[in-house]
Each structure stands twice: as structure tokens, then as C-alpha cells.
A and B are shown apart, each in its own frame.
Chain A
């Protein structure tokens, strides 16, 4: 593998020809060898940012992109040496698995023998050795995803970009491949950017996560930092559930305007010890129980409790909020 590379974006913005802004000017440094997850709802500009890194989209005038010490702003996508896994995989239907994986090498003029060797190596890495001669339309979704990955890394790219690599798969398979992918990225040690709208995926795969919204970078940091110290309500809400209570009883008891907290930070107790509330609904989820609650004034919130919690709907309880943040 080649030496991992730092990616630096300076003042990169994107405006479409019709004048709409896809991306506000943005500075971003991706460390050598790290996996950065771009997380946000659809239309937040995360895919546009990814396409700018591989060169399929050009930044507005004034934006600069560096791979290590090379300024690649004006370099065409075919010369950037970037491996891309597209959303939906974009495998070539007129080629079989081996030909897909070997295509980038063929373009580079690698001789047939070395190509065969490298393709075999790649297929082994993604555990698809047996399917080398298969046509693309004979593959399952998970197999396609791995072929796309093998094709992208066969060219020994300087940077690996993944656009929603697991979105097209069903939930169970996604769980499995997420673990596989995390392991593979660690093995490769390559600088990697992964675009996703799934917060769990971002937190599992990303060494750091960049949360984006409406064409802006909201916050960039390690998954734990983002979860524990979100810089904005948007980030807090996007990474898991965030509850908010305000006024009345909350103010008189805690002496603040409002409280924000996560469902697992709530402790339920017998009436009389904290904020009085009533159980509205109870969902047993195996590892925990999810309660929907309401204060006397009708404000609703969620609490998670251990699976042996005894409360039932309509029970009166008191609520102790442990790590309440003042919002």
C-alpha cells in the first residue's frame, strides 16, 4: 500500500449553474490514514463534497484541494488516483466480476499476468474468490458492494471514497458488512471518506465524524465528542434522540429555563423524589425498555430503563435527570 495521504480543502464552495448553493465555503482537513464520516440528511451537501474530492464536481473559484503537498484542484478525476465506491455501486454490466475489479489496472496498462494476480488478491480480500467469473446481474446486493470495494482499491488509490456504501442493503446484512468494512478499512490504513445519512454507521466507521446540514459543516470531531458535547441542537438531535423540557415544574425544581438530555440519562423512581410524570407507553426491546412519558403540563419525553423495570402505562413516577444540560 502507498503511504496514506492528508486531504485538505480550503474555502471550497459549490454553487449550481442555476444559482442554488450546494455547499457554503468550507475548510476541512482529513488526516492521513483516518476514516472521516460525512454525516447528514439528504441534500445537506455531503455527496457534493465527496464528488469534489474525487474531481467529478469542481469547487467554485477560490476553492483549493490538496492531496498531501499536491494541489489537485485542476487535476481531472481520471488522474487523481482516487478509489470511489458509488451509491448503487455502478458496476459495469458488460463485464464479469474479475473484469470489473481489473478494469482500472487494464486502463493503467498493467500486463495480463500481474493483473490476474492482483484481481485474485483483491477478491480474496473481500472473500469473493469463487465468483470471479460471475456476471454482475447474478450477484446479490452484498456481493455487489464487495465487488465495488475491490474495484476501487485494486488501483491502490491514494484516497478511498465511499458514497452510502451500505444504504442499498437490508438491515441485517448492513450490520454484518459494517463490521467487515470497519475491519477492512483498518487493515488498509488508507485515508478514507465515507458519506452516510446513518448515524450509527458514521459512528462505527468514522474515526471522526463531520456532521453537515444545509450545505454547512455543523461540527467535526470524534463520535464520542459529538455525542457528549454537541455544538448545536441539530448535531445533538441527529446523533440519537434528544429530549427537551422547559418552564413550569422544570424551572421551579431545577432553577433553569429548560433542560435537554438523552433518554438513557433519565432515572425513573417512585413518586415524590423528582419531577412528577406519568407513563404513556412502554416498549420492551430486549436489552432495555423504552418509556414514553408526559409531565403534568403535557410535555412529552422518552426514557430508557433496564429490562427489569416494573412501571406500566398510566403509572405515576418521578423523574430524575442525571446529567441534565442547560439548553
Chain B
């Protein structure tokens, strides 16, 4: 069994790394959450699921992330299809660079951009006041958050979906066409099934990114609490480590649960076809 021993030797560093940097801190984090926090007789987990302030924040986060993910996919799909199917129209390269430009921005910059566009001194407000006299400010509410999330989710998603659309054999679509399928039927029967994997992967990436988004929300200073902000507050403002730890674990679990659900749904759709 020299072969098996060799495997162990090769795998050992990876196992050590995994233990040291993933498992141990995770166990520690989960442990901290199980402790009772200042003057309460229940564990922080119990607190997190029973106190409206906390679970409201969880619901906000999941709802906002799901909404942003869906909106991103709905916007990115036609854009990606267009870009993938039109490899050389004038201005394509410039458009691509503009679309991908925000990729490197930290959340803080994205938040700032949203304020510039839709804040009190923003372009949108100035325009609407000039046109109708009514001020329109989106930056500090749900709409502002939503726009901010789209800002950093769209470029990533368009990249992934474009590659997937380019991978579709155009003869499949032509075959469907000669068999009598309208553009809509071709899209539903041939394209969507071929894109299910990419859409699921891109959606999962969007959702996980949105669940953990911090910088943008922090910059916008909204009244809406999302989990990363709540965790930050508990940690820095109240020094409530157990609750911060418990919320972190809940954030991880909620993200995992939604992704698991989406994956099994996608697998079932693929099989159903």
C-alpha cells in the first residue's frame, strides 16, 4: 500500500492548511456564538433567531440578494446574448471595456458612484428637479442599495454568460428552426437548457457576493440593516462578540441553503428536459 502512503504524504500539507485556516477558526467562531452574551441567559444563536432586529436583518439581506441576483440575470442574459452574437459591430470594444470597468472597484467606490448618480446632489435629482420640480433621491433607500448591487454584479455575470452563449452550437438553433420552431421556442427549448448551468453558476456567484456585500451599504449609510452591517455593528459598536459570531454563522448557513436549493432546482430542470 505504498501508493496510499504516498498519497497521505502529498495530501498532508493541504490537510494542515485546511485545518489551520478553515476548520479551526470556523469551529472557534461557531463556539463563540454558542456562548451566552452580556446579561442574557440564552446563547447568542437563540438571541439571533428570536430577536426581530436580527432576523429582520437576515430577511432583508436574503430578499435584497435574491432580488439583485434575479435582476442581474434578467438584465445580463439579453446583453450577453447580443454581445456574443455580434462579434464585430462598431464600438463593441469600447462598450465591453465600459461594461467591465467597475469590476475592480471596491464596494466603497460603487457606493460613492451610486450617490453621485442618485443622491441628494446627484445627476438624477438635478434632472428631475429641472424637469418636473420634484426631487428624486434613491441612493439612501432600498433602490440605492439595489442599484449598487447591480453595479458590481452585472460585469461579472455578463462575462460568464457571454462565454456560455458563445458555446451554444448555432446548428442546434438552425435545426430547431427548420423543424418549425419560432424564435421564442428556440430560446425556451434549446438555448435556455443549454444555459442552465451557466445561469445557475452565475446566479450562485451573484447571490453569495450580494449576501456578503459590505462596502457599498456602508458608504450609502442606509437605514436598511443588512447582515454584514449588523455584524459590523455588533462587533465594533457593542463589542458583542457572541452575537456577531452567531450572525456570521447564520449568514453562512443561509447563503449555503439558498445555493443548495438553487442547484437542486437547476439539476431537476436539466433532467426534466
Contacts and interface: CB of A to CB of B under 8 A. Distances in A.
Main secondary structure of the interface of A (DSSP, over half): loop
Contacts of B171: 86-88, 90
A103 B182 CA distance: 13
Nearest to A108: B180
The range of chain A's interface size is 20 to 34
Interface in B157-214: 169, 171-172, 174-182, 185, 189-190, 193-194
Nearest to B170: A90
A61 interface: no
A167 B207 CA distance: 46
A56 B181 contact: no
A84 B171 CA distance: 11
Contacts of A113: none
Interface stretch (A74-82, A230-238, A242-250, A260-268): A74-82
Contact of B177 (A77, A87, A95): A77
A212 B181 CA distance: 32
Given A77-B178, A95-B273, A103 B189 contact: yes
B270 interface: yes
Nearest to A79: B180
Contact of A90 (B172, B189, B273): B172
Contact of A104 (B180, B182, B190, B273): B180
A94 interface: yes
B74 to A, nearest CB: 22
A55 B174 CA distance: 10
A278 interface: no
A88 B170 CA distance: 12
A322 B169 CA distance: 53
A103 B173 CA distance: 12
A86 B189 CA distance: 19
A18 to B, nearest CB: 11
Contacts of B174: 56, 77, 84, 86, 90
A55 to B, nearest CB: 8
A54 interface: yes
A83 interface: yes
B84 to A, nearest CB: 18
A78 B175 contact: no
A72 B189 CA distance: 26
Contact of B178 (A54, A87, A91): A54
B181 to A, nearest CB: 5
A81 B179 CA distance: 7
B118 to A, nearest CB: 41
A91 B177 CA distance: 13
The range of chain B's interface size is 10 to 19
A94 B273 contact: yes
Contacts of A54: 178
Given A90-B169, A94-B273, A104 B194 contact: no
Of the listed residues B178, B180, B194, the one surrounded by the most CB atoms of chain A closer than 10 A to its CB is B178
B190 A56 contact: no
A155 B169 contact: no
Of the listed residues A82, A93, A151, the one surrounded by the most CB atoms of chain B closer than 10 A to its CB is A93
Given A93-B194, A94-B194, A95-B273, A78 B180 contact: yes
Contacts of B270: 94
Contacts of B194: 93-94
B190 A92 contact: yes
A80 B177 CA distance: 10
B196 to A, nearest CB: 8
Given A90-B169, A90-B172, A107 B185 contact: yes
Contacts of B172: 90, 92-93
Contacts of A87: 171
Contacts of A155: 179-180
Of the listed residues B176, B177, B179, B270, the one surrounded by the most CB atoms of chain A closer than 10 A to its CB is B179
Contact of A94 (B179, B180, B181, B193): B193
Contacts of B181: 78, 103, 107
Interface string A146-168: 00000100010000000000000
Given A84-B178, A107-B181, 16 more contacts: A77-B178, A78-B179, A83-B178, A90-B171, A90-B172, A90-B174, A92-B172, A92-B190, A94-B194, A94-B270, A94-B273, A103-B179, A103-B181, A107-B179, A108-B180, A151-B179
Which 8 A-B residue pairs are closest in the complex by CB-CB distance?
A: A90-B171, A104-B179, A94-B193, A90-B175, A107-B180, A84-B178, A94-B273, A86-B171
18 contacts: A78-B178, A78-B179, A80-B178, A81-B180, A83-B178, A84-B175, A86-B174, A88-B171, A90-B175, A91-B175, A94-B194, A95-B273, A103-B176, A103-B179, A104-B180, A107-B185, A155-B179, A155-B180
